[in-house]
Structure 1
Amino acid sequence: MTDAKTHPIRKPDRSGFDRRLLPPMMLGSILNPINSTIISVALVPIGRALGAPASQTAWLVSALYLATSLGQPVVGRLIDLFGPRRLFLLSTSLVGVAGVVGTLAPNLGVLIGARVLLGFGTCAGYPAAMALLRSEAERTGRDSPGGVLTALAVTNQTIAVVGPLLGGLLIAVGGWRATFALNVPLALASVALGLLRLPKAAATGETPRRGDRIAQLDLPGMALFAALLVSLLLFLMNLHPRNAWLLLVTAAAGTAFALRELRAPTPFIDLRVLGGNTPLLATYGRAIVAYVVSYAFLYGFSQWTEEGYGLSPFHAGLAQIPMFLMAIGVSLVSGRRKGVRGKLLVGAVGQIVACLMLLTLTSASPFWMLPLVALVFGVPQGLNSLALQNSVYFQSDAERTASSAGLLRTFAYVGSMIASSATAASFGPRADTAGMHQLSWVMLGAGVLFLLMTVFDRTLGRVNPPADTEPADTEPAE
């Protein structure tokens, strides 16, 4: 049997990273964060328009995360086996379909279905980008420049933070349906760039037979992983003792999944390799607690500024502009610096300080305090995601870069589901100040845990991404 990763021997091309790949990489990777964040200011208008309470509109958040958490590692594994081009084109096309369905949705159920489609459709962008970075490193004979990793992180951070403001603008111009319609032109642009610029399999040296690659899919392992993840996330989405049976399902599925993966010749997730990679496991653990804080702020703060403080969706997004600017600034400044430990430590302290500031806010606080809190949150927003992304790139097995990147997003969305549950439990029927303070204590606890996990992880000192040694005017590789 031909090895699915057998590549022809190629002489390294020293012409440098092919920067023509950057536009599709960046556009594809932002489809998920833009749909993750733009909904934060649309939940209240959607609830009013469709007559749905906050407990039901929360499924618009949960549905996307549930689909994405499952889809990211699965699609990442498919990219590892089949290459990024096909999966990128297929998934981004699905984003356009979801945009049309959401724009025309007659009720909340169809709208939730559209969010599920968006979740699956946005799965390929980020793993494909990481796989392209790895293939370019193999083609050029040197690791991908730090500037490219920084550009990818900054793009995602920019969209993640500017999402609420963009959502507010779209709602002001075209109503909440415009936030779904936005996906149609984004999908068309992604497909066009993918067709024009993403290399075909032959260009990346991917020559194994289709049957050999299909044999490595490990469909039983994927099915058990799906059962494990879905049952866990359903429990986290509705924390209540009556749902404890879901934890039993999670435990059973997890046990079966572990037994399957340890015996499978080509496992979906190689637990033997992953289990021996303690630094990568620690990175995934940090991703969970980091995103508990990040997403609790994103959704909790946005809802409180609208319902508890009385701002419109547009002004609620406007209040978060300082976070957008700060996140970009710190990512650009720190992106070319080696190592991740310092970034994570500063990001952890930034989270703690911002959570303490949230505890001082009330409905009578002056408006200037809102952008000030957002400004402080911009520091960890810009540092943590960059550091986590770089950690996975340099800690993961080179043959499983895309699936490892997908797992990072999965663990991040586990954190987002915990944040969603904490937000729902803190606010109840209305996002008032008391609920926001209760949520802030949860965020503070997660921030302290993130700090401790960073301080006591001695392996972080060995994660040293190389500086970008390419000249600024490097021509694209032919």
Structure 2
Amino acid sequence: MTGSTELSGRFITPIAFGTILQPLNSSMIAVALVGIRADFHAGAAVSWLVSALYLATAVAAPAMGRIADVLGPRRTSLGGLALVALASAAAPFAPDVGTLVVYRILIGIGTAAQYPCGVAMVRRAADEQDARPNNALAALAVCSQVTAALGPTLGGLLVGGLDWPGVFWVNVPLAVVGAAVILRWGPADPPSRGGGRLRALAEIDPVGMLFFAVAITAVMFWLLSLAEQPTWWWLAVAVPAVALTAWWGLRARTPFLDMRLLGKRALSFTYVRTIVTYTAFYCVFYGLPQWLEEARHLDPTSAGLVVLPVAAIGALSTLIATRLQRRHGFRAALVVGTLALCAGGLLLTLPHSTSPVLVLLGVAAMLGLPNGFNNMGNQGAMYAAAPAERMGAASGLYRTSQYVGANLAAAVLTLVLGARADDAGLHHMGLAVAGIAAVLLVASVLGLVRDRLAQR
């Protein structure tokens, strides 16, 4: 990140645009579940419309990133957008919930391609132009994470006007526009290596990809089960699958998951830190609205408006974090972010069901502050540690780390909130978030001190 100039806005816009699809699709569906359940006379099965997209994205993000490393990120991104458009156009005509879940999986695969492809395109352009990637990474951070908070609002408008199919149909014009701007302004892929695309396809390592898919799926199912009754046999599947993935990653000539890459302490530690950070983030993202509805007795729309500062301040803090990171590096952003997260967690121990809405808005604003700093810091750490030729796969694993954190958050919320969120549950959640942040803060400060000593 030592270039003298920033990447141009015309270059960044087409790359960042596609990354809004995954967070929007992960959160828009929440307001459509009631209508889908009624239309298909379904029960708890509709919850798979939420879980299926997270699972598909967690598995597909590093896979699509690896494909982008081999076939080119522009080409892979366009393929993902085409898959999103086709699956979204067909989903409203699904005959049953099972088929609708399949379409959600396809949408998850297509949207999973956008972030790793975006980071890979940024890395290639920044290296070629000797430019700083900070503004491009900030745009990706805002579009790929902060927009999740806007999903329920947009989804409510779409369901109100078009019923539940609206949350699928909206993807079609978004995907078409995304493809158009990438075709018009997106950076060209590097030329094919010797042997052409068929030889390149052989380098994707389908065996390693299969082992990884089984491993991460089993891990995610086990984590999901922790929220109710732990299903230990999923862990019995996950452990040997992880071992096979590691073994193959050391044995294959061009492995999908290069264990030597994960052997880099800086990169593997970044993934662990990201999992822990997003465990705290999703505790707030899911837990605070639940308390607002069940203890503060706000309707869903009002609860959504109260937590809106989390997204708004998160976008603003991303811009501030970009400046800080440009001058002092990603560790400085992580120190500020984890300190703010610790303060936000402690603030959650103060509100009660009778607290004024203005107080709750202030708490939500404080909870939005760490998001930009932590996202930029972890993203910057991953960018600095991963080699350029593996940037797609590395950034895909970064996304997977976020979703592992989301599932861990579900387990944490079950422990601290219980079946129904009350004031005590909120305060326990705040202490859990503050405790997680305190551990991250110590690690970030030690890393910053170590880097400063190394520079002397």
Taking structure 1 as the reference length, the TM-score comes to 0.84
Deviation, structure 1 residue 149: 2.2
| 1:64 and 2:50 aligned | no
Number of residues of Structure 1 aligned to a counterpart in Structure 2: 446
The aligned counterpart of 1:80 is 69
Distance change >3 Å, CA 45–CA 380, structure 1 → 2: farther
Which structure dedicates a bigger proportion of its chain to helix?
Answer: 2
Task: Indicate the larger mover: 238-247 or 131-140.
Answer: 238-247
Structure 2 distance, partners of 1:248, 1:155, is 37
Structure 1 equivalent of residue 389 of structure 2: 399
- Contact kept in structure 2, 1:341 and 1:460, CA below 8 Å: no
Bigger mean CA deviation after superposition, 243-252 or 188-197 = 188-197
Per-residue deviation at 1:25? 0.6
Residue among 183, 189, 195 paired with 2:183? 195
Structure 1 runs not aligned, ≥5 long: 1-13, 463-478
Comparing 339-348 with 358-367, which one deviates more in the overlay? Answer: 358-367
Q: What's the CA shift for 1:67?
A: 0.6
Could you say which residue in structure 2 is the equivalent of 1:114? 103
Say whether the 8 Å CA contact 2:115–2:140 is kept in structure 1: no
Paired position in structure 2 for 1:336? 323
| Matches of 1:183 and 1:459, distance apart in 2 | 46
2-structure distance, mates of 1:133, 1:166 = 29
RCO higher in structure (CA 8 A, sep ≥6): 1
Question: Which stretch shifts more, 424-433 or 146-155?
Answer: 424-433
**Unmatched runs of 5 consecutive residues or more in structure 2:** none
AA paired with 1:35? N
Q: In 2, distance between residues paired with 1:373 and 1:174? A: 34
Q: Distance in 1 between matches of 2:416 and 2:164?
A: 25
Aligned to 2:360: 370
Kept in 2: contact 1:393–1:401 (CA 8 A): yes
Contact kept, 8 Å, 2:332 with 2:448, in 1: the verdict is no
Select which of 380, 383, 386 maps to 2:376.
386
SS at match of 1:150: helix
CA shift in 2, pair 1:283/1:402, >3 Å:
same
1:27-426 alignment runs, 5 A limit: 27-40=17-30, 57-105=46-94, 108-140=97-129, 142-201=130-189, 204-209=190-195, 210-239=197-226, 243-275=231-263, 277-337=264-324, 338-424=328-414
Moved more, 390-399 or 365-374: 365-374
Report deviation, 1:56: 5.1
Superposed CA RMSD in Å reads 3.0
Counterpart residue type for residue 274 of structure 1: L
Whether the aligned pair in 1 keeps the contact of 2:125 and 2:187 (CA below 8 Å) is: no
Deviation at 1:256, TM superposition (A): 1.4
Paired residue type of 1:124 = A
1:364 and 1:177 map into 2 onto residues whose CA distance is 38
AA aligned opposite 2:365? L
Length-normalised TM-score, structure 2 = 0.88
Q: 1:171-208 CA deviation, whole Å, 9 max, x = no partner?
A: 4544444333321221121122233233444xx34443
Per the TM alignment, residue 18 of structure 1 is displaced from its structure 2 partner at its CA by 5.4
1:218-249 deviation line (CA, Å, top 9, x unaligned): 11111111111011110000126762122121
| Distance change >3 Å, CA 377–CA 47, structure 1 → 2 | farther
Structure 2: which amino acid aligns with 1:151? A
CA gap of 1:285–1:294, structure 2 versus 1, over 3 A, is same
1:453 matched to 2:440? The reply is no
CA distance in 2, matches of 1:178, 1:313: 19
1:370 Cα deviation from its structure 2 partner:
2.5
The alignment-based identity, stated in percent, is: 37
Compare 111-120 and 410-419 and name the one that shifted more.
111-120
Pick closer, same or farther for the CA change 1:107–1:312 going to 2, 3 Å.
farther
Amino acid at match of 1:306: E
Letter in 2 for 1:179: V
Q: Which whole-Å deviations, capped at 9, do the CAs of 1:82-101 have from their partners, x for residues lacking one?
A: 00122111111222233334
Residues 387 and 60 of structure 1, relative CA distance in 2, 3 Å threshold: same
Residue 411 of structure 1: CA displacement?
0.8
Distance 2:216 2:356 in 1: 43
1:423-451 per-position Cα deviation (integer Å, ceiling 9, x unaligned): 35655655555554454444343323322
State the Cα deviation string for residues 136-177 of structure 1 (Å, max 9, x = none).
12332x143422222322333441333343334444544444
